[in-house]
Amino acid sequence: MNILLLGYGKMGQLIAELSESRGHSISAKINIDNRDELNSLDPATIDVAIEFSQPEAAVENIKWAIERGIPVVSGTTGWLDQKPAIEQLTIDKDSAFFYASNYSIGVNIFFKVNEFLAKLMNETTGYTSSIEEIHHTAKKDAPSGTAITLAEGIIKNINELTNWNLSEGANENEQSLPITSKRIDPAPGTHIIRYSSEIDDIEITHTAHSRQGFALGAILVAEWIQGKKGVLSMDDFLSF
């Protein structure tokens, strides 16, 4: 499989290393300094694009690939207000677009545990919910895409919650789920779901020990997406 890397930071470098160890080839490594090299690439020689760039570059990178019929596996967060347009472009071009806020298999299991717990807590009174996420200082967006996905899973299942907010202190709006974002090196990513009452706290936590789980998950999806069409997600890949 020939892989185009759109974004060649720490994640892109790890994806390249793991891809080659699995017998794949890297067609090109594109970042902000050499984006003009896209014009010299032959799309027919590229099997998939894996996009882990920056929020300000993600949309144009994804469009470039989809318009040329190259399946895209994207993991960049912080641009999702434009995701509906990308999904429509995918349909119009009869291409394939896969987005996940987190490609770790463990995190995607955590998403399901989070939703199950929220359903239980919806039937319980006296608890307030919150999310805390911790990442390295190089992460630009806050809250993390993973935290937003977790928040959406809670809001969908707890009737009194209508939205989430980025919070640094006490939550004054009982209908809004507070998310606290911390940037501490070298944390690859920790997410804590907390339900607090006067009697006790209930917490579930996912802690990543390295970026390897994220990178490997993206490669596995890139292998899986071959021959597929449409807008796809981790639910499709894992058949939840």
Residue ranges of alpha helices (H) inside the chain are: 10-21, 55-66, 83-92, 105-122, 145-157, 212-224, 234-238
The structure tokens listed for 136 are 């390295």
The DSSP 8-state label assigned to residue 130 in this structure reads E
Task: Determine how many CB atoms are found less than 10 A away from the CB of residue 175.
Answer: 12
Active site residues: 135, 139
- What secondary structure does DSSP assign to 178-215, as a single string? EEEEEE-TT---EEEEEEE-SS-EEEEEEE-SSSHHHH
Q: What distance, in Å, lies between the first and last C-alpha atoms of the chain?
A: 26
Task: Give the SS3 label for residue 168.
Answer: coil
Structure-block tokens of residue 128: 């307030």
Cα(235)–Cα(240) distance, rounded to whole angstroms? 5
The residue behind tokens 């882990």 is 52
**Residue matched to tokens 């239980």:** 120
Exposure string over 211-238, b if 16+ CB within 10 A, otherwise e = bebbbbbbbbbbbbbeeeeebbebeebe
